[in-house]
Amino acid sequence: METRGIEYDLCLFVAGDEPNSSLAKKNITAIFNDCLGGAGRLTIVDVFEEYRSAIEQNIVLTPTLVVAKPVRIRLLGTLSDRDAVLSALGVI
């Protein structure tokens, strides 16, 4: 997996410590650190605490991963399928 020189800007919207949100946090943190080399920024937003950010980004379901860089996409769910996430990010 080649990610050298690529900056990532990822924002995961979650709903507190709900099971799917907890799993998504664990999965995207592992992907960001292990597969993307921590290149860029990973932000986790709890919609219960920062609902304005969710409204501004038109988040209607959680967990939702909003990718601003290197491609503009949204991924829904627990992000358990690592290959699907990496493919969406253009890594594989």
Domains and CATH numbers, the chain: 8-88 (3.40.30.10)
- pLDDT of 1 > 60? The answer is no
The H or E element containing residue 74 is strand 73-76
- pLDDT of 77 > 60? The answer is yes
pLDDT of residue 63: 98
pLDDT of residue 3: 63
pLDDT of residue 35: 94
Helix (H, G, I), strand (E, B), or coil: what is residue 13? strand
Separation of alpha carbons 47 and 53, rounded Å: 8
- For the stretch 2-39, pLDDT in tens is 566 789 999 999 999 999 999 999 999 999 999 999 99
- For the stretch 38-69, pLDDT in tens is 999 999 999 999 999 999 999 999 999 999 99
pLDDT of residue 28: 98
Separation of alpha carbons 54 and 59, rounded Å: 5
